[in-house]
Structure 1
């Protein structure tokens, strides 16, 4: 977490002194979402997923669908109850549903649960990425923008293509040449710092302080990052799931807002600053909320 804050600060400072320029943020965002992230997804899946693991843990797929359906329903209800403004209500749901799986979830779960954590993240990532680059993109797009509705072309995003290709490679037992694997791994390792630098620059260029005054920001932290993980633990225990799976699911739900949410929101509408504020607030809050949830629920 301390490393993430340092990278965030570097991004802020480089934007402040003009190394990263506001007019170049669009191109930087495109580079991250269409090159670095697909490479990370492909590399992570091909090195961690096998046919036997998928078959033996098939329950994780319907479990992940249930988790995302619950998050989507709760996010919609909160947006309606708090009467979040037009378009901002969708971005709120977008931020609520999708946690920071790649940059906080994966290192956290693999450190705590080792092989179980790696498998859990890979299986959940299949559903996560398909939903993110379809339903998530729709949520992030301003209602008045051309093509704001669902478009089948969303299914051809670089990230979904990366998932499909990675599953074909992993489940067929193919092995990539060492040089190719090394190149993909090198690019993948650059994804986290690039995202954090971008987020730091967005904080510099946009006024995110207004987010601190909004009740929906605190509702996201309290409900999504504390209440729902604890409730999920109780439900999963009643279903008889293993302790490791319960622990992975609890920490997964408790994750802060995905770092890519502000980038995509900025690309597809005018709520980039709001999404950035949510990402920063939840990132700071998770230093406290994740240990609290772990102590109460695990």
Structure 2
């Protein structure tokens, strides 16, 4: 009941923030121009600062060495999520941007805005270290593979025809463009913040508290502003059309109930039968189980909205998954805790 109460309290708070954002737009306190500004502020300032300040606060090389199993589990979780929902997208015969946004919505859970306060509340002693180490893998994948999934899918017919026409030169040019586009995805504020934080931890450099304190204050604005932004987005987009999509129901049950329970059983079994000691504790497995069952990351809606790539579809996944998590997280926690 303790974990259930924590989850209900967090989700009720998030729901209130969504209502505030929805109400502000409906009452015409602000509109799309203001929401676009909030989106830019979140993506370029608040989220990167949140990630950086949480990663470097109280974390040093000894913590990294003692708890690097969390990073291993996070990488394993994302690897399984990517393979699982790539396969689901193909089995459900989803194509183009619909397939990619479907995958992004189910691979990336709301670790930043729901996961961090939830883990800190459930594991007050080691929660900060777990969050810092998980964020390195989480943000690196979100701002590279996640950004790519949220970009509009373009037809490859023209590129193939041009390559055939131009021969080797055209093929090399196309390869160069793809490599350059891939590298550009790494040049974003959040990923840079993660890399700077990791470098400071490895070098043993400490960020003074007089600097960390205002950074934490700024970063803590990310959660309420993101949910207020999302609430406003609900008021401006026809998100309810996603309720007609059959993949929504299959995907949410698979991602938020079946997958975390299967992952918990798999990891527990592997640790118990491993012939050599693994740097993985039971608390780490519980943490990654909760993270695996989180609702869709709000940043996915921001990414798709920025590119005008099925934003209603992504917003619908965020809203419905967040509401569904009230039941799914309670069910998962009742089984594993």
Question: Same-fold call, TM > 0.5?
Answer: yes
Q: Equivalent residue for 2:111?
A: 101
Higher relative contact order (CA 8 A, sep 6+): 2
Cα offset for 1:68? Answer: 0.6
CA contact (8 A) 1:141 1:148 kept: no
Residue of 13, 16, 33 corresponding to 2:26? 16
Residue of 190, 193, 214 corresponding to 1:162? 193
- Counterparts of 2:119 and 2:77 in 1: how far apart (Å)? 17
CA contact (8 A) 1:72 1:97 kept: yes
Q: Deviations over 1:99-136 (max 9, x none)?
A: 10111111111211223332222212111111111111
What are the ranges of 5 or more consecutive residues in structure 1 without an aligned counterpart? none
Cα offset for 1:250? Answer: 0.9
CA contact (8 A) 2:17 2:227 kept: yes
Q: Deviations over 1:4-36 (max 9, x none)?
A: 111101101111122221134323211110010
Q: Equivalent residue for 1:243?
A: 282
Larger radius of gyration: 2
Q: Deviations over 1:190-232 (max 9, x none)?
A: 1111100110011000011111221211122100100011111
- Counterparts of 1:148 and 1:282 in 2: how far apart (Å)? 34
Cα offset for 1:84? Answer: 2.3
- Counterparts of 1:261 and 1:17 in 2: how far apart (Å)? 26
What are the ranges of 5 or more consecutive residues in structure 2 without an aligned counterpart? 1-10, 156-176, 272-279
Say which SS state the counterpart of residue 115 (structure 1) adopts: coil
Q: Equivalent residue for 1:151?
A: 182
CA contact (8 A) 1:46 1:170 kept: yes
Change (3 A) 1:131 1:80: same
1:272 equivalenced with 2:311 (yes/no): yes
1:294 equivalenced with 2:333 (yes/no): yes
1:52 equivalenced with 2:56 (yes/no): no
TM-score under structure 2 normalisation?
A: 0.84
Q: Equivalent residue for 1:175?
A: 206
Following TM superposition, where does structure 1 have runs of at least 4 consecutive aligned residues deviating by more than 6 angstroms?
A: 145-149
1:229 equivalenced with 2:260 (yes/no): yes
CA contact (8 A) 2:55 2:131 kept: no
- Counterparts of 1:261 and 1:61 in 2: how far apart (Å)? 22
- Counterparts of 2:43 and 2:204 in 1: how far apart (Å)? 28
